[in-house]
Chain A
Amino acid sequence: MFKSFLAGIFLGIVACAAVLNYVPVVDQYREVSMITVSQNGANIETFHINVPMDRIMIGAPGQGTPLPVGLEWPSDAELATIRAELFKIRNEKNAVIGVASRIAASDTLAGDVIEWVLHLPARGSVYVSMHVSPADGGYRFGDMRRGTREFGSLQGRVTERWVANTTGSEDAPAGRIELQTSLAAVRGEL
């Protein structure tokens, strides 16, 4: 009986170590990436944000109705020119796949700044600086400054534009912010 107890201890150690090592503690759910490839080889992916449903926060001074309700945006003069927003972002199948932040600010040193960070938990994050002046067709272009994990070896451009909803349906969003990434591998990092 004592030998079976000792064998049990050994088995317990092995089984516990195996479970801790091989059973994943975290399993991030993945939606299928909806990527098309352009003629120059760049991966093109389109995300969108349904407004107002996917808006988590509008952080800006002097808002009549804060979002979310109860938000107390600081009244410090230093933050008077910052507008920070948080969103959920969706893929082309309208499934939520991540979260995003958009900061628009203006000051004497940095000038006008519009930036995005897209965070897709199962894939990585993208940091984008947008050109302040919109181009024809309501597009605003931007450059990806840094990607992490899946996006770490990529570089490219991002466009944003506002697409108003014209269906007239009561349940439909007022419109959507469309973000399109066009990213290619950095040379030598394929």
Chain B
Amino acid sequence: MKYVISLLAGMFVGACAVLALLYYNPVTSRSTLSPLSVTDNELINLNYSAVAQDALVYTNDGESYMDPHPAKVLQLWEKPIRHTRALATVLTDGRNQVAGIGIKFSSDSELTNILNSSVLVNSVWHIYLPESGSLFIEQVENHWGYMREVVVPARWSSGDNWRGRWHGNITSGPGALGIANVVGGSGKFRGLEAGAVESLSARAYSVERGPVAMTGQLTIELSKEQTGPETE
């Protein structure tokens, strides 16, 4: 019997060792430097609040840690969309002026693999910027850094919350260098094929309510020939 107990105790220690190694693995530190920071092309920065209560509409399956907003919004409870979130938000420019409307759909990815430090989300943005045009952004997000450095510490905290300063890129593909694919639909963006990076800046997180103070930023690269008005 004592051999069985020591075997089980060893297995428990071994499993804990794997989890601790994954969690504290310094090789998988968060990405803070955008691949677009070295580009010569014009960049558009669009900001939004990542707090559900600040959105025009935020909805999910109704059972996740973030409550839908407004409270009576239709929830995504059906099986095929249970792991999906929808966000409609006002986008602002670098001067905090209203720039347009953004709609984001994000779904948990089946390629998520904790062993690879990958908490993946497939997401798309549908954006309309008045007097500029429309954009579609396709990306794969990796939330591992955000989970490890914000969400898990909040859960471990005796007050069930986290406060601090966290900034990281969540875009991890599908483009080369881990950037998102952007397609222009209308206006001066028509025909545009470019890259983008989405980042999050968190200052407060609550286990009960989700992000309390967090902003998101989309940095979109425009190639030089795409910055003029439509000539079609």
Contact = CB atoms under 8 A, between A and B. Distances in A.
Interface of A: 1-2, 4-17, 20-21, 24-31, 54-57, 59, 68-74, 76, 78-79, 81-82, 84, 86, 88, 95-99, 101, 103, 105, 107-111, 113, 115, 117, 119-122, 124-125, 127, 129, 145-146, 148-149
B70 A71 contact: yes
Nearest to B124: A125
Looking at chain A's contact residues, the main secondary structure is mixed
B6 interface: yes
A110 B18 CA distance: 54
Contacts, number: 251
Given A70-B70, A103-B134, A127-B126, A115 B103 contact: no
B162 to A, nearest CB: 22
A10 B88 contact: no
Interface string B73-99: 110101111111010101000000011
B80 A28 contact: yes
Q: Most chain-B Cβ atoms within 10 A of its Cβ — which of A97, A107, A108, A121?
A: A121
A82 B86 CA distance: 18
Interface in B40-82: 56-57, 59, 70-74, 76, 78-82
B114 A20 contact: yes
8 smallest CB-CB distances across A and B, nearest first, come from A8-B10, A12-B14, A70-B70, A110-B187, A12-B11, A121-B107, A119-B105, A68-B73
Contact of A115 (B15, B76, B126): B126
Contacts of A107: 130-131, 187
A146 B174 CA distance: 14
Contacts of A21: 113, 115
A131 B199 CA distance: 34
Q: How large is the interface on B (under 10, 10 to 19, 20 to 34, 35 or more residues)?
A: 35 or more
Nearest to B174: A148
A120 B8 CA distance: 43
A21 B59 CA distance: 30
A156 to B, nearest CB: 16
A4 B108 CA distance: 40
Contact of A109 (B2, B108, B124, B188): B188
Interface string B1-16: 0111011111111111
A148 B175 CA distance: 12
B109 A9 contact: no
A59 B56 contact: yes
B7 A73 contact: no
A82 B81 contact: no
Contacts of B188: 109-110
Contacts of A82: 100-101, 128, 130
Nearest to A55: B74
Contacts of B103: 84, 86, 101, 103, 117
A119 B4 CA distance: 51
